[in-house]
Amino acid sequence: MAVQIHQGNMPNRQSGVVLVVALIMLLIMTILGLSSMQTTTLEEKMAGAIRDKQIAFQASEVALREGEDFLTAASLPAFNNTGGLYDPSGTAGDQWQSVTWSAATAAACNCLIATGTGLPTGLAKPRYIIEELPAGSLPGTSLVVGFAAGSQATMYQVTARGVGLGGGVAVLQSTYLR
């Protein structure tokens, strides 16, 4: 016995509104997904740049400390504008601005190459130069330990440059009194 269903007065037309609404929702979800991907990619690039700058800073810090350690030696070599050691009479202005930091050897860049211990592998060795500053006396209100106010002291400016894995550069300077 077969049962027949009679539709009677029910309309037999479908307008496809659900399909249009579903396609619009799918389009909106796609646009939101693409926007999220672009934002995530940008944040990833920013984080990578910050990491690269931090690595460059740490490399520069290594070179700066090594330059300061160099100045603690009992006797220093002549500062004759070679090998990364500059005297005040032979240079005009800040020598660190005219040094070719990217040369392959210390002799070619006229700077000293730090050992770079503890730095990531594949990182360019950090470099530094030391400039002897013009002699002068300490001001009367100096708080420098071991030096009397008004005494003569030699000051040195240590400039260090480190490069990160992605090419970020950090330059640090310190003034050393001896």
State pLDDT tens for residues 39-51. Answer: 999 999 999 999 9
Q: Which two tokens stand for residue 150?
A: 């008004």
- How much is the pTM? 0.73
As a three-state string, the secondary structure of the chain is CCCCCCCCCCCCCCCCHHHHHHHHHHHHHHHHHHHHHHHHHHHHHHHHHHHHHHHHHHHHHHHHHHHHHHCCCCCCCCCCCECCEECCCCCCCCHHHCCCCCCCCHHHHCCEECCCCCCCCCCCCCEEEEEECCCEECCCCCCCCCCCCCCEECEEEEEEEEECCCCCEEEEEEEEEC
- Interval 142-164 mean pLDDT: 76
Locate the domains of the chain by residue range. 17-177
Range of 52-66, 98-112, 137-151 with top mean pLDDT: 52-66
Per-residue confidence at 28, pLDDT binned at 50, 70, 90?
Answer: very high
State pLDDT tens for residues 70-125. Answer: 999 999 998 888 888 988 775 556 788 888 888 777 877 788 888 767 778 888 88
Cα gap 155→177, rounded to integer Å:
5
